[in-house]
Amino acid sequence: MEVGNKKVQKISFLRSVRAFFNGVTVSFFTPNRSGEFAGRILYLNPENRVRGALLTFLSSSAQLLVTLQLGLLSLIYFLPDFIDFSNLEIQVFRVILFLIALGVTSAWLHLPAVVRWVDRLNIRSSWKEKMHIWERCSRADFFVLWILSLLRYAVFTFQQLILFAIIMPSVSFPLMMGLSALSFFLITIIPSIALGELGIRGGVNIAVFGFAGWMSSDVLMVTFTLWFVNLVIPALLGACSILFLKLKGTIDKVE
């Protein structure tokens, strides 16, 4: 794990992969997968876990930022199709949504400034001291995080495009990309846990893609496939990894 050209702790690629799957497993049981960091920091030394959690928050927030940015832009585009308002009202709403997108982007870029604000509070905590890890993150680090999050987002979108193209060969790719961004946005802002997320995903996708005239059964098939491939399988792999850690710990104690 590295930031600002300074390593927090060096771990192998295999451990990084296992930490990712562990994070998916833990997030499976937490609201909006907010507990992902807890699984990812298992392989760090105890003294580095708080810093690791704080850096993991930055990466997770970058993914959230991309989802909000593209979702808001998609909503700006499709707004006249979903809301029966006058042209002036539509333009006002579009300006508001664009300002919100700029606001969340600016807030994310200024996360290191939160450290200076926290320093002014009369709080004694190890977290307060270790939050200075954010100050070691340069704008270049933030840009790299954003690009990686955008690439990950593109993978999910491409998966959905492929599945819809298989089921409905005549699908319009530009329309599908816009509606995908809108559906990811709505799913993200609705509180849920992964165990019950399938129902929310299905309902949102039926509403969004039904707008384009696609059958509910086809939409649900795509939704279930993506949920199973991107959440269930990684969560099962992470559970096996966590079980291995527990067994290894038990053996070490016995020895």
The pLDDT of residue 255 is 47
The DSSP output letter for 171 is -
Tokens of 191: 């509180």
How far apart are the C-alpha atoms of 187 and 183, rounded to whole Å?
6
172: left (phi over 0), alpha (psi -120 to 50) or beta: beta
Looking only at the bridges linking them, the beta strands covering 2-3 and 6-7 are antiparallel
Question: What is the torsion angle, in degrees rounded to the nearest 10, for the CA atoms of residue 252, residue 243, residue 245 and residue 134?
Answer: -150
Residue of 100, 98, 71 whose CA lies nearest to 180: 71
Q: Do 194 and 90 touch, CB atoms closer than 8 A?
A: no
Give the pLDDT mean for 131-142: 82
**Cβ proximity of 227 and 205 under 8 Å:** no
- What phi and psi, each to the nearest 5 degrees, are found at residue 7? -80, 140
Q: Report the C-alpha gap between 158 and 164 in whole angstroms.
A: 10
Helix (H) / strand (E) element for 21: namely: helix 13-27
pLDDT digits (tens, 9 = 90+) for 9-51: 777 778 788 888 888 887 777 776 766 777 777 778 877 888 8
Q: What's the confidence (pLDDT) of residue 143?
A: 92
d(CA 157, CA 210): 18
Q: Which of 7-11, 96-100, 119-123, 183-187 has the highest mean pLDDT?
A: 96-100
CB atoms within 10 A of CB 236: 14
CA dihedral 109→187→206→169, nearest 10 degrees, is 50
Helix (H, G, I), strand (E, B) or coil at 39: helix
Three-class SS state of 180: helix
Average pLDDT over residues 113-125: 72
Mean pLDDT, the chain, as a whole number? Answer: 81
What was the pLDDT predicted at 127? 64
The overall pTM is greater than 0.85: no
Q: What is the pLDDT of residue 101?
A: 95
> Which SS3 state, helix, strand or coil, does residue 193 take?
strand
At 69, list the tokens. Answer: 């940015």
